[in-house]
Amino acid sequence: MSALALRPVSSSAVSAVSSPAAVGTAGPRTAAGSPYRFTTELSGKPLRWNPCLPIHWQFRAAGAPAGGRAAVTQAVARIAQASGTRWVFDGIVTSAPTSGWLPQTNDANRPVLIGWTDAAHSDLLRGRPASVIGMTRTAWFGLTTGTVTVASIQGAVIALNRAARLPATGPASWKTATLHELGHVMGLGHAGSSRELMYPVLQRSLNDLQPGDLRGLAKVGRPAGCISA
Ligand SMILES: [Zn+2]
């Protein structure tokens, strides 16, 4: 007889997008490099949501710029379409987007929280350079059996930096910044190519997800199949 080892696993990842104004100081621009990456891979597969369950989300209205809620709503609709997932709006909250929002256990479902805040009110922005316009933290849970881990992302929070000044929509806007952060929510890391929206510096030339972003999203979204644990 051999023992079956079941080990609960959980972790979180944090990623940022920088202001287009930081292009000159954030390192050389490059069009070469990988079109998409995943934040985390387990047993050779990207960590992702179960795309066959709806993803609930809430919005923090306080601190939002003019047009901010509409821009975020448009970004959510776009990520839903691009990943084949269904997003359900659960209403407005007053809580600032912080790590404390994230679920602490496997069964503690919490909607994804998106909103504007600042370094004084969110650990996600504390100590970050002023060029950072958005930060995302995800939480995931799973079980390891032998050498195979079955896990899924089960929570996320997006902190948008209200000290930053961007247009609500269009290129290098709150909409595209939120779309970038939603890419992290879905499990994408930073692309190596500046032609992709998942490049760590928001590009003024991009108004939407690009081909590499979409290929990455297909591998974490509904086209990759359900997760059954
Ligand atoms: Zn990022």
Task: Report how far ligand 1's centroid is from the alpha carbon of 167 (Å).
Answer: 19
Q: Residue 126: what are its φ and ψ, rounded to 5°? A: -60, 130
Q: What's the angle, vertex CA 204, arms to CA 99 and CA 199, rounded to 5?
A: 50
Whole-number pLDDT of residue 8: 54
Task: Report how far ligand 1's centroid is from the alpha carbon of 89 (Å).
Answer: 23
Give domain 9-23+44-220's CATH number out of 3.40.50.300, 1.10.3720.10, 3.40.390.10, 3.30.450.20: 3.40.390.10
41 pLDDT higher than 70: yes
Task: Report how far ligand 1's centroid is from the alpha carbon of 191 (Å).
Answer: 9
Task: Report how far ligand 1's centroid is from the alpha carbon of 7 (Å).
Answer: 30
Beta bridge partners of residue 57, listed in sequence order: 89, 112
Whole-number pLDDT of residue 16: 55
Task: Report how far ligand 1's centroid is from the alpha carbon of 197 (Å).
Answer: 9
pTM of the model: 0.89
Task: Report how far ligand 1's centroid is from the alpha carbon of 18 (Å).
Answer: 8
The CA-atom distances, in angstroms, between 187 and each of 29, 156, 170, 194, 203 are 24, 10, 24, 19, 21
From CA 119, how far away is CA 63, in angstroms rounded? 13
Task: Report how far ligand 1's centroid is from the alpha carbon of 2 (Å).
Answer: 43
From CA 87, how far away is CA 156, in angstroms rounded? 13
From CA 33, how far away is CA 31, in angstroms rounded? 7
Q: Please, which pLDDT band fits residue 60 given cuts at 50, 70 and 90?
A: very high
97 pLDDT higher than 50: yes
Task: Report how far ligand 1's centroid is from the alpha carbon of 6 (Å).
Answer: 33
Task: Report how far ligand 1's centroid is from the alpha carbon of 101 (Å).
Answer: 20
Whole-number pLDDT of residue 193: 93
Task: Report how far ligand 1's centroid is from the alpha carbon of 3 (Å).
Answer: 41
Task: Report how far ligand 1's centroid is from the alpha carbon of 201 (Å).
Answer: 8
Task: Report how far ligand 1's centroid is from the alpha carbon of 229 (Å).
Answer: 29
34 pLDDT higher than 50: yes
Task: Report how far ligand 1's centroid is from the alpha carbon of 109 (Å).
Answer: 24
Which carries the bigger pLDDT value, residue 1 or residue 108? 108
Task: Report how far ligand 1's centroid is from the alpha carbon of 196 (Å).
Answer: 11
Beta bridge partners of residue 201, listed in sequence order: 18
Task: Report how far ligand 1's centroid is from the alpha carbon of 107 (Å).
Answer: 27
Task: Report how far ligand 1's centroid is from the alpha carbon of 180 (Å).
Answer: 6
Q: How many other CB atoms are found less than 10 A from the CB of residue 142?
A: 21
* For residues 38-51, average pLDDT: 90
